[in-house]
Chain A
Amino acid sequence: MFSVIRLYLIALMVTTVQAWAAEIIVIDYIKVAKPTRPLLSNLDPIPDDLGIQGAAVAIDDNNTTGKFMGLTYELNVIELDPEQLSTISPTLQSNGLLIADAVAKDLLQLADADKNQTVFNVSAKDSVLRDTNCRANVLHTIPSTQMETDALFQFLKQRKWDELALVYGNFEDDLAYREALHRSAKKYRLDIDEERAWIFDADLRRTAGAELPVFTQQLDEYDVLLVADVAGDFDRYIHFNTWLPRPLAGTEGLEPKAWADVVEQWGAAQLQSRFEDKASRDMRSEDYAAWLAVRSIGEATLRSKARTASEVRDYLLSSEFTMAGFKGRKLSYRHWNGQMRQPIPLVHAHAVTANAPLPGYLHQRNELDSLGIDEPESKCGAFK
């Protein structure tokens, strides 16, 4: 935890000729500390600079273009604890262009503090933020959990793996993931026939072989075992320890993700290598979402005269805006809830298995809208 608000600036190192006197566009990146809980495995620590490095790469990308257009981009990084949010305003340096790397509650506090800001949500996947609890000044570049589980269910449906069982953790985020799985099952008319909560506290590194076969023996016949363990506490130990030999999907096994280090098509390999050069680690979903947010601001300011936060927001929500994001399709924002449309790769540790939307999932407007909350069922009224 941070006792003081930490601030630093990421700017272009001007080594090349600056063509003309540059106009500077500052973006505030606000990383609000998130509650963490201890996990069984020590294998995958969350990088301290998660998200920030994605934004930093996008600042470089924006500046490479900006130097030909007389624009310079800077990132003002603010790291703080939730209780410090009320005192944040003197540390903000942008013209209301905020990137929020925060849980839903903190994100909303930031957004509601000043309605003239445009806030980019790069980490909170809660469906309610795109629905009943949406905000007109919040755009989401991270896909919602619902988009992810819809992507997974398109795949399950296509493979005709329709007998499904579910094991879920008992934390709030696990229950939200479980709820999204159920909604996707309903949408794609598949049944989650059986489910069990994992509430044991054994150290599974030692006992997975003994506990899990028996635990899963009580489930009836199924094709795929879905798992909802968002923090990655126990799900990794289920592999090869189920009573029936079956694949896993959800938060383990076949995972729907905004981004993963195995994404390489459509030029993605270039973004991956730029990222690794800068960050010395793999690029993750939150990094990608932050990259999208900063690049969106870049596109809006390079291609239009938009400069204030609300002008940027209006441009991004207009039909004029589309962006390439290394996923093989045009990306844009949904005008009814501010969510960025994007394909969702279904990945395992070593490759991309499929990309949603899968062929055949048609949509009257845009196939990408087959993922997540669509306009007709949206309860978000803030954008009207």
Chain B
Amino acid sequence: MKSLIIGMCFMASASIADEIWVSNEKDNTISVIDVETLEVTRTLEVGERPRGITFSQDYSTLYLCASDSDAVQVIDPESGKILHDLPSGEDPEQFILHPDNRRLYIANEDDAITTVVDTETRRVIAQIDVGVEPEGMAVSPDGSMVITTSETTNMAHWIDTETHEIFANSLVGQRPRHAEFTSDGKTLWVSGEIGGDIVLFNVEDQTQIGQVTFEIKGIHPDMIQPVGFKLTPDDQYAFVALGPSNHLAVVNATTLEVEDYILVGRRVWHMAFNRDKRLLFTTNGISGDVTVVDVEKRKAIKTIKVGRYPWGAALRIKD
């Protein structure tokens, strides 16, 4: 009897544990990882070539870029069922949900367009011409501006979310992949995959104010390719995925010096923190797994096998 109660408690606690949702680009699936057991608990069938992945603010809805299905899919995270598709423009790769919890800003990679969709009316509100192969998307904390970075044009485009017009363009390093605002909204970070750097912009006047460069002993600089990254909530550190160098860099956001390099899986791409930010989950495209990093110790503690070419990762808080 006692063992049964313990068993039930365990089950109950397991079912409310938070989850990391990972999109598997070459499997048309999502792998759901239990943050406590660090195991895959569910694998969901989704649309073609899933990449960008994000939850609504209350975690009741999942949005997923199904790039080759030319749709953003809306998924019920409880049942795993696809509820409906949103119009997204062609080849949606990455997107960002506005702080109003309603507008999705979507990068249409094949079309050089950023599409704005109202998730409630399910209509396209605006389409904005941007550079060739838009990918990185970021929204300022106050919601007043959205950034699209374009890979072949090598620019960050600054979009006014009132008018849906571009108000500035900044040239960045070759092949920009990802952008993030600091939590105070004062600084924008943009990674350049082939340029091999991250550049920082002063949001107020869009001037470049800093640069982060990387160097790993024994790895040719050309193979150190910053792609996805995340800032810690206090803006103290940035964790940067360095693609084919198979390392994560820990960047001091004040000095812009790299303090540590952590070996993770092959072609590390994007990442997500758990709720208390003690764990970081990285997607490793070529090795087809997720590395769990202990943030404080700056060490990889576990590798979790997922589907083929894991791309994006998103935390689902369950309470």
Contact = CB atoms under 8 A, between A and B. Distances in A.
Interface in B223-255: 223, 225, 244
A267 B155 contact: no
A38 B175 CA distance: 43
B312 interface: no
A64 B131 contact: yes
Interface string B172-209: 00110000000000000000011110000000000000
A270 interface: yes
Contacts of B129: 16, 67
A341 B106 CA distance: 35
Interface string B158-179: 0000000010010100110000
A284 interface: no
B220 interface: yes
B110 A273 contact: yes
Interface in B248-278: none
Contacts of A310: none
A270 B155 contact: no
Contacts of B193: 324
Contacts of A65: 131-132, 150, 152-155
B147 interface: no
Contact of B131 (A68, A328, A329, A368): A68
Contacts of B155: 65, 68
B85 interface: no
Interface string A363-384: 0001110000000000000000
Highest count of chain A CB atoms <10 Å: which of B131, B150, B175, B195: B175
Given A68-B166, A267-B151, A302-B171, A328 B244 contact: yes
A205 B110 CA distance: 41
A324 B152 contact: yes
A329 B193 CA distance: 9
Contacts of A366: 222
Given A323-B174, A367-B222, A270 B110 contact: yes
A322 B166 CA distance: 27
A10 interface: no
A330 interface: yes
A335 interface: no
B289 interface: no
Highest count of chain A CB atoms <10 Å: which of B133, B153, B195: B153
Nearest to A16: B129
Contacts of B132: 61, 64-65, 274
A66 to B, nearest CB: 9
A323 B132 CA distance: 15
Interface in A57-95: 61, 64-65, 67-69
B109 interface: yes
Contacts of B166: 68
A267 B175 contact: yes
A272 to B, nearest CB: 11
Contact of A68 (B110, B157, B196, B220): B157
A278 interface: no
Nearest to A295: B152
Contacts of A274: 110, 132
B154 to A, nearest CB: 7
B96 to A, nearest CB: 20
A366 B220 CA distance: 8
A303 interface: yes
B195 to A, nearest CB: 7
A328 B196 CA distance: 11
Nearest to A323: B174
B133 A330 contact: no
Contacts of A368: 222
B112 interface: yes
Contacts of B112: 64
A69 B169 contact: yes
Interface in A9-30: 16
B133 A329 contact: no
Contacts of A329: 194, 222-223
A330 B192 CA distance: 11
A188 to B, nearest CB: 20
Given A61-B132, A322-B174, A324-B195, 16 more contacts: A64-B152, A65-B131, A65-B132, A65-B155, A68-B131, A68-B153, A68-B166, A69-B169, A270-B133, A324-B174, A324-B175, A324-B194, A329-B194, A330-B194, A367-B220, A368-B222
Interface of B: 109-110, 112, 129, 131-133, 150-155, 157, 166, 169, 171, 174-175, 193-196, 220, 222-223, 225, 244
27 contacts: A61-B152, A65-B150, A65-B153, A65-B154, A68-B131, A68-B153, A68-B157, A68-B166, A69-B169, A267-B175, A270-B109, A270-B110, A270-B133, A274-B132, A302-B171, A322-B174, A324-B151, A324-B193, A324-B194, A329-B194, A329-B222, A330-B174, A330-B194, A330-B222, A366-B222, A367-B220, A367-B222
6 closest cross-chain pairs (CB), A and B: A324-B194, A65-B153, A68-B169, A324-B174, A324-B175, A329-B222
